[in-house]
Structure 1
Amino acid sequence: MSEKNREGKRTARQKLAAEREKQKSKDRRRRALIVGASVVCVLGLAAVIGVIGANAGKDDGGEAAGPVVAPSGAQGKDSLAIPVGKESAKSTLTIWEDFRCPACKAFELAYRDTIHELTEAGQLKVEYHLATIIDGNMGGTGSRKAANAAACAQDAGKFTPYHDVLFANQPAESDDAFADESKLLDLAREVDGLDTTLFQECVKNGTHNSWVEKSNEAFTSGGFGGTPTVLLDGENVYQDRSMTPEKLKQKVLDANK
């Protein structure tokens, strides 16, 4: 073989070796980019999970939701009903209400005395369910905070009188006055024995906020048309426009014969 041919083969081998080294270098860079991109994806996913975790359990008021703490004596599915009246009563009135709801106030002012008369006589048991639809429709947190305060009053055995005071002092629908905890605490002074340190802490800490939210979820998933929703032994009596307190009383008495 001539020297010229040998030199040509050496040159070809060198070029081939150089190409192989160049390809290896490209492969190393590609693997590095893939690993780097994978790390970025993992970090990005971790960041997303972190954001979701940070925001999970926050309600509309921006406060972290706590455990669901039902008020004392709550009954029914998921302990979402606050009972008033004797357990032995034959008739049950189920009421879904929102403390910011003007129609709820109108119902309460019209029917309250009759309902009290029937519950005190052992003829009727009432199950109150609290909703927060006005917060959702108008904005704010007054429905939820008032409902929490009412649940706190239930803990103290003062639900009925405080419930009545809240409706008697209901602000205009667009006025989120019940979002001010000091307002709720001031109204508690109108109920004998309610303005205690325990009640104040329960209101300020939002002890039953998550329970109120769970109750509102049950309302929205229940297919009800709005608040108030009033059911006498399952019959929607509030939809009957001819219904009056006297007719409601008679229906209860007839059912109990």
Structure 2
Amino acid sequence: MSEKNQHGKRTARDRLAAERDKHKAAERRRRTLIVGASVVCVLGLAAVIGVVAANSGKSKPAKAGPAVAPSGAQGKDSLAIPVGKDGAKSTLTVWEDFRCPACQAFETVYRPTIHELTNAGKLRVEYHLVRLIDGNLGGTGSLRAANAAACAQDAGKFSAYHDVLYENQPKETDDAYADNGKLIALAGKVSGLDTPAFRTCVKNGTHDAWVDKSHQAFQAGGFSGTPTVLLNGKNIIQDRTMTPAKLKQTVEAADQG
């Protein structure tokens, strides 16, 4: 073999090795992002303000009144907002807080795959909205954003507005979502959502008591932090081998029976 050919093969091997190293590094960064952010949500910045997970969720309750579930809510006490086909063979249960950076991290990594699977009718997602960060850091942004998302569900626009809230999420310590005006302004990013009915629902806190009831169910479930994500009952956040590709493979295998 000529020296030139040998050099060419070495160069190709070097490129492949470099690509493998690059992929491994990207995967490590992805896992660090989700795990690291999850610690922030569980502890509520305990190192800074002395709040521990055991005290999480002790936010002031919403205004007194009946728990008005949003249109189409399902499950026990109508606390789940469903996205996807009812007959899908796999169900992803997501407990989330719109102020939580780990929830945003999960969305950033998994959203394209989740959308692909729900659109194909292979996966059904049940979203449960909680206000963990309100309890950890104070404020009402988690509650106000969750109520607004429930109002979007009434309008049949939950999924799109859900994504907008994460795309525009303020810093965890910034209670910007406590401002109903901001939440209404963000509705302008979803076609057909900013209507008088939506504005009234947001301003009146129509679903506030329902959000509190959902948060109580989260606490009763013994979950340690947000996001808590269960695929057919199994916690995938705790599964260090889980990736979007593996999630897709698992769901598609179940779909094929």
- TM-score, normalised to structure 2, is 0.76
Task: Note the 1:191-210 alignment, pairs <5 A.
Answer: 191-210=190-209
Runs of 4+ aligned residues of structure 1 deviating over 2 Å after TM superposition are 59-64
Q: Does the 8 Å CA contact 2:94/2:126 hold for their aligned counterparts?
A: yes
* CA deviation after TM superposition for structure 1 residue 166, in Å: 0.1
* CA deviation after TM superposition for structure 1 residue 62, in Å: 7.8
Which residue is equivalent to 1:13?
Answer: none
Check if 1:114 corresponds to 2:113: yes
Between the aligned partners of 2:161 and 2:63, the Cα distance in structure 1 is 27
RMSD over aligned CA atoms reads 1.3
Structure with more relative contact order (C-alpha pairs < 8 Å, separation 6 or more)? 2
Number of equivalenced pairs: 199
Q: 1:73 to 1:63 in 2, by over 3 A?
A: closer
Which residue is equivalent to 1:216?
Answer: 215
Check if 1:152 corresponds to 2:151: yes
Choose 1 or 2 for highest CA Rg: 1
Between the aligned partners of 1:166 and 1:94, the Cα distance in structure 2 is 19
Q: Residue by residue, what CA displacement relative to the aligned partner does 1:7-29 show, whole Å, maximum 9, x if unpaired?
A: xxxxxxxxxxxxxxxxxxxxxxx
* CA deviation after TM superposition for structure 1 residue 61, in Å: 5.6
| 3-state DSSP of counterpart to 1:96 | strand
Which residue is equivalent to 2:33?
Answer: none
Which residue is equivalent to 1:248?
Answer: 247
- TM-score, normalised to structure 1, is 0.76
Between the aligned partners of 1:120 and 1:251, the Cα distance in structure 2 is 16
Between the aligned partners of 1:248 and 1:64, the Cα distance in structure 2 is 39
Q: Residue by residue, what CA displacement relative to the aligned partner does 1:198-246 show, whole Å, maximum 9, x if unpaired?
A: 0000000000000000000000110111100010000111111221111
| 3-state DSSP of counterpart to 1:75 | coil
Between the aligned partners of 1:226 and 1:63, the Cα distance in structure 2 is 21
| 3-state DSSP of counterpart to 2:161 | helix
Which residue is equivalent to 1:125?
Answer: 124
Which residue is equivalent to 1:101?
Answer: 100
Amino acid paired to 2:102: A
* CA deviation after TM superposition for structure 1 residue 64, in Å: 3.1
Which ranges in structure 1 are unaligned for 5 or more consecutive residues?
A: 1-58
Identity percentage over the alignment?
Answer: 70
* CA deviation after TM superposition for structure 1 residue 88, in Å: 1.1
Which residue is equivalent to 1:236?
Answer: 235
Amino acid paired to 2:75: G
| 3-state DSSP of counterpart to 1:241 | coil
Larger deviation, residues 206-215 vs 236-245: 236-245
Which ranges in structure 2 are unaligned for 5 or more consecutive residues?
A: 1-57
Q: Does the 8 Å CA contact 2:95/2:130 hold for their aligned counterparts?
A: yes
| 3-state DSSP of counterpart to 2:105 | helix
Between the aligned partners of 2:183 and 2:144, the Cα distance in structure 1 is 8
